[in-house]
Every structure is written in C-alpha cells, then in structure tokens.
Amino acid sequence: MMYTIIDVETTGQTNRITEISIFKFNGEKVVEEFTSLVNPESVIPYYITTLTGIDNAMVANAPTWAEIADQVLEITEDTIFVAHNVNFDYNVIRNEFKAIDKDFRRKKLCTIRLSRKLLPGHKSYSLGKLCSKLNITIEGRHRARGDAEATVTLFKILQAQEDAETVFESFLKKTSKEGALPSHLPTEVFNKIPNTPGVYYFKDKKGKIIYIGKALDLKKRVLSHFYSKTQKSLDMCRETADIDFELSGSELVALLMEDAAIKQHYPEYNQLAKRNLKTYAVFSYVDRKGILHLAYNTLKSTPNPLKIFSNVRQCIGYIEELCFLFNLCPKYCHLQDGTNACNHHKISSCNGICRDQETVEAYNLRVSQAIQHIKDVAELTVLKEEGRSPEEDAFILLKNGTYQGYGFIAKSEIIERNEDLENFLVPQKDNLDIQKILRSVKKKKVVTA
C-alpha cells in the first residue's frame, strides 16, 4: 500500500497554499519527495508570517498552484492521503484544484485520529506536543517540510503498534465515519449521539460552545456538518473537540430550545441566528391621576409586554388601530407627547379624557377592553408535543398569548388544571423569533384539563 504524507502552509483566513510538502511512503521508507513554496496570488498576513516565517517576498517568484498541480496529482495518484488533521490539508488542496477546474479525490487517513486510537492517554494530540512526548524531532516547525517529515516518523510509530493493521483497515472502509469526523473529536463522543430530535452543542478544546443547532435526527444532522465543504463548516469542525446534546422529543420544542440556547451563549458560528434585533412592545401602566395608559418601548425596557413587534413603525401603527377601535386618546397612548390635550393629525376619536370632558373610570374601561382585545387567546394555552420517551409528553405554555416556556411531564402524572403544568415548566423569555416559530405552528392540539 502506498501513502503520501502531506503538510501545507496557508495564508490563514482565505487558506490559499503558500507551501506544500509531500513524502511518498511505501510502508517502509520514503521513495519520493516533493516540496515547494507556492505563490498564493494573495497577500500573506503578518501573523501568518510570524508563525511560519513565510513572507510575501519569499513566494513572489514561487510557482502558482496551477503550475505545480500536475506534479501534485502525479505523486499522489493511487496513494492514501495522510496528514495530521487530514481534513484541513485535504480540503485546502481540493479547493485549490477546484479553483483551476480540476477534481481531486483520494482515500485519506488522519494521524490525529489514528494516534487517539493507537496511542491513547495523551493530554494533547497536536503535532508539536505529540512529537515532544514521543521524542520526534521537528526540523522546522510550522514549515511544510518539517511538519510533513515529522508526520512520517509518527506514521511509522503508529504502524508498529499492536492492532495497527486492523485499525488502518477499519478507518479506510467506505462505511467508516472516521475520515469525516473532526480530528480532535473522540469517536466515542460522536457514537453517543442518538438518532432522535434535540439540540446539539459543538465545543472547542476549552469546552466553550462555538455552535448550537437543532435537528429531528441529531446524529444525521451533526454528521452533515462534517461532510460540508463550506468554509464556515470547515473552520468550525477544525475547532470542534466535543459535542453535547439535549433531547427535545419534537422538532418544535427543539426550535424553542435552540433559540434560547443561542441567545444565552452567543456562539461564534451562529452569527445570523444570534443577532439581537431591536424589537418593540406595547405595555400598560397607571399614572398618578389613575389614568390607564397604553405605551410602547423597546422590548428590553418593557415591563410585562402585551404584544411584541419587529420595529417601532409596526408598534405605533397597532396602537393607532386600538385608538380608532376603542376611542382612545392619542396623548394617553403616547402617540402625542408634550401636549396638554390631544390634537393628532389623523386620530380624532378621543372622547375628551385629556380635556377633563370624560371620567377616568369611563376612559379606563375602554382601555381595559383594548387590553383584553390584545389578549385574544385563552389565559393559558398549552401546545402538546411528543416527549423524549414513550413514557412522557412535552408541552409549550403560553399565557395571554405570551410564550412562557416548555416542559416535560410523565404520562402517569394526573393534571387536573392547566395551571398545574407550571410546576413542570422550564421558564423561557418571549421574543420575536419565538413568535415567528409559534406562528408557523398550525392546528396544534390544545391540552384541556
């Protein structure tokens, strides 16, 4: 069996190759070598130069990838692609070939994953620390040839381990997922993930959550990230060292759990979902004269919101509708501030509360009716969902149309009133994203006591 043991250096964020080194290894010795600087046709950042020593001047007259592509194809043909953190080097090279309209596909082995299996017990499996523990000298750390040559020595040590042949064969099987898993993720962590609905958490080496997702089938969805070739997925998977998960029982509960978790942890790779949109809400309060006001503010600054909106224009428009419907005063609905009496440009339905022409009691009655109109659902609404096991149910609780949270309850529990479900509730905050999720749910079964 023939192997090509490879290392590349890149420009960093754009991952254009600046240097490549390939050692062709027949299982006993190196039979051919190809090492070259590469002109990335882009600027090498200073921090990369600091790490590798490769600067823009060094690669200015080096061949471009298109000029060495045929040599790389020839030396790697009919070989197994081997690298330390193989998915990184392999995908970087594939992308370079793709940019010049050439396809590149090879079987691959990762010396990090092989080391975890055949050399267990090390605190770190980075090339530098592993070589230090195994007394492997690296001549030129963070240069392609030095790292590739050290990987050759490591590969020989792995070959000499008991059961190495069996492990190599199992990793190379088409049905094996070893080649797809992130290099730093233990196989047993992935194997524990079930094929059920829930939320998953990608974590880095320090245990920090870097991505949160939801799925109907957790294992299938997680695996799809490892096969994705988008730059975001490649970067995320390269950092992933652990995966945690929570079962939800249903996709709807998973959506709600995911939203809450993203807004709590703000993971690096959930950029779109974690955006804090500035939302607004309608609320009510009583002033010192005893007059009941309708008002609006940002959701963050709103006590006991009655209704939430995605922008201030929608919020004001809704309050204007309430003024028309219930003959409310624009001044006491905060559509006009700084005036003694209302004089709104399009609302003239006020019965005179702002001019002392109406009693507070009469006006407050209509405001109360408007508030009741906002609360256009039953006081407690319960949406029933599948539980995490056949012995339980999940539920989603809304009070006066406002999301309260979700919960899980054993089917053996006796519930006499909907209010009893609050004892099993996992409290959550309402927001615009949650409202969109719940609005998409049609004809949900309402639990009745």
Structure tokens at 438: 């719940």
Higher-pLDDT residue of 275 and 254 is 254
Return d(Cα 157, Cα 382) in angstroms, integer.
61
Whether pLDDT at 103 is above 80: yes
Residue 276 confidence (pLDDT): 57
Residue 343 confidence (pLDDT): 84
What percent of the chain is predicted at pLDDT more than 90?
A: 69
Residue 273 confidence (pLDDT): 55
Higher-pLDDT residue of 178 and 390 is 390
Residue 448 confidence (pLDDT): 43
Residue 414 confidence (pLDDT): 86
Give me the chain's average pLDDT, please.
Answer: 90
| Tens digits of residue pLDDT in 259-280 | 999 989 999 998 765 555 678 8
Residue 275 confidence (pLDDT): 54
**What's the Cα-to-Cα distance from 251 to each of 197, 388, 390, 393, 425, rounded to whole Å?**
6, 11, 16, 13, 18
Q: What is the pTM of this model?
A: 0.68
Higher-pLDDT residue of 382 and 179 is 382
| Tens digits of residue pLDDT in 192-214 | 999 999 999 999 999 999 999 99
Whether pLDDT at 447 is above 70: no
Region 86-107: what's the mean pLDDT? 94
Q: How many Cα atoms within 13 Å fall on the side-chain side of residue 54?
A: 29
151: exposed, middle or buried (Cβ count in 10 Å: 0-12, 13-18, 19+): buried
> Could you tell me the pLDDT band of residue 382, with boundaries at 50, 70 and 90?
confident
Residue 277 confidence (pLDDT): 65
Return d(Cα 306, Cα 295) in angstroms, integer.
10
Return d(Cα 333, Cα 330) in angstroms, integer.
5
| Tens digits of residue pLDDT in 286-302 | 999 999 999 999 988 88
Nearest to 395 by CA among 370, 371, 367, 424: 424
Region 208-236: what's the mean pLDDT? 91
Region 418-433: what's the mean pLDDT? 86
> Could you tell me the pLDDT band of residue 189, with boundaries at 50, 70 and 90?
very high
DSSP-assigned letter for residue 64: B
Cβ-based neighbours of 18, under 8 Å, separated by 6 or more = 9, 10, 11, 37, 38, 40, 44, 48, 52, 54, 59
At residue 263, φ and ψ (nearest 5 deg) are: -75, -20
Report the alpha-carbon angle 227-233-236, nearest 5: 125
Residue 449 confidence (pLDDT): 42
Higher-pLDDT residue of 400 and 402 is 402
